[in-house]
Amino acid sequence: MTDTGSTRAPSPGPREAAASPHAQNPERTADPAHLPSLCVQSWYVDGLTPSGPAPFATAIPTRSLDFLEQLPQDRFSCWVRGRSGIVGFGRALRLTAQGPGRFRDLERQWDELRTRASVDDRVGLLGSGLLGFSAIAFADGSRAASVVDVPEFVLGRRDGRVWLTHIGAPEADGGRPASPEDFRLTPRPLTAPAVLSAGPGEVSPERYEEIVEQASARLRSPQAGERKVVLARDEVITTDGDIDVRTVVGRLNSAFPSTWTFNVAGLVGATPELLIGVEDGAVHSRVLAGTYRVLEDPSAELAAARAQLSGHKDSIEHSYAIDSLAATLGSVTAELHVDREPHLLQLANVIHLASDAHGRLRTEDDGSALSPFRVAEAVHPTAAVGGAPRDRAFELITELEDMDRGRYAGPVGWVDGYGNGQFGIALRCGQLEERNRIRIFAGAGIMPDSDPASEREETDAKFAPMRAALGVERSGPGAER
């Protein structure tokens, strides 16, 4: 099994069809006014037994491929980094919210759900107990729903231990205590349907270069109120048969073990950028800004990357991201340390400037720590995916992109019943629209001296991970990105 990195609908948005199987039990959307009282049990399943421990038919898988083959083709959620992770099966219920108040609405619903839950957690590791997987829309005005999906079962691996969680109705409501025998995995071979088409979405490459030119001209104006803006474009990929999400997740996790691979509400990807991680009142974050495109071998190109990324454009762009993170995360922390000097984050086909931050969250009046939803709301969107200043950049994105990003570039991750959670920024990802169609996204930070062709090429490099995982590109540095 692949081990959590730290580790959890109303009218559908443009990136999630109402009848899509990837919506995962669309009929189980919770009524915010009548949330159920859940019964939650977590127990270890990696003890020494004569036969394979449930839910595995034989031994606990030691290879990622063996574990992936035991997942359902699309009815699962996951948050995985390297060989640590949490994987949810089925859906007990879904919490939804939209609009400017979506973070607070989800927080309120989740707080009520965890307050009402009866929890028997015999594991006590990060990610055990009550858990939900969440994906939140990028923009206030997005038509896409922000969600928390609460699975029926969760398999987790952390610190070398493997556990199983069951989330369901209490006995009084017709439920019964769960046991390992309630949940069995059946291996099914992975599939990789042929790609029928892959082409521009709402923002074509040509249109993208046009809006980059418009944005950089605006930023050069003496009257400009913006210093940086992040513009994105999309592509639509259609396959000859159902997209096997297991295959996509497996390829991403294998190629990029240092990133956070996710599948939440049909949003599939592998992000190198952790928006916020909250554990026992501590918070940490990683911001990326400044990109070098790898030509052949990232290890052999570190010197070239260092030379480019130390230049004016990339260093200024990264300084905006650091300043933005320090200001927004500082508003919810009692103490905070932000790396002022970035380091190089080396991936297969890009190298980024990266800075980390860590601190202690401030407490509410009742002494409780702020929730992951509240912290994510304060930090989103960072200058790395929106721009600087934040509000002005948002306006420019709306004006020039003319595209609903849906959940792309929004927070994606998990929350638990103890006030912990992780939200990455939904990058290097796509939203499933039908069983055989997915819309993928990529963006670039635009500065006054940006070259439109170079910025379009940067988005090509950032498309490469999803293109390769879906079978569009299987050769060259982008194929193993």
Tell me the catalytic residues. Answer: 228, 273
The closest alpha carbon to 146, from 114, 182, 109, 180, belongs to: 109
The answer to whether the beta carbons of residues 55 and 185 sit under 8 Å apart is yes
Percent helix, percent strand, percent coil in the chain, to nearest 5: 25, 30, 40
C-alpha–C-alpha distance, residues 230 and 148, integer Å: 27
C-alpha–C-alpha distance, residues 248 and 264, integer Å: 13
The closest alpha carbon to 3, from 158, 161, 165, 164, belongs to: 158
**Got the DSSP string for 265-329?**
TTEEEEES-EEEEEETTEEEEEEEEEEEE-SS-TGGGHHHHHHHHTSHHHHHHHHHHHHHHHHHH
The closest alpha carbon to 231, from 462, 477, 16, belongs to: 462
Cβ neighbours of residue 448 closer than 8 Å, sequence gap 6 or more? 216, 219, 220
Which structure tokens are listed for 244?
């096997």
Cβ neighbours of residue 180 closer than 8 Å, sequence gap 6 or more? 43, 45, 53, 54, 55, 164
The closest alpha carbon to 417, from 372, 465, 474, 470, belongs to: 372
Strands 39-44 and 118-121: parallel
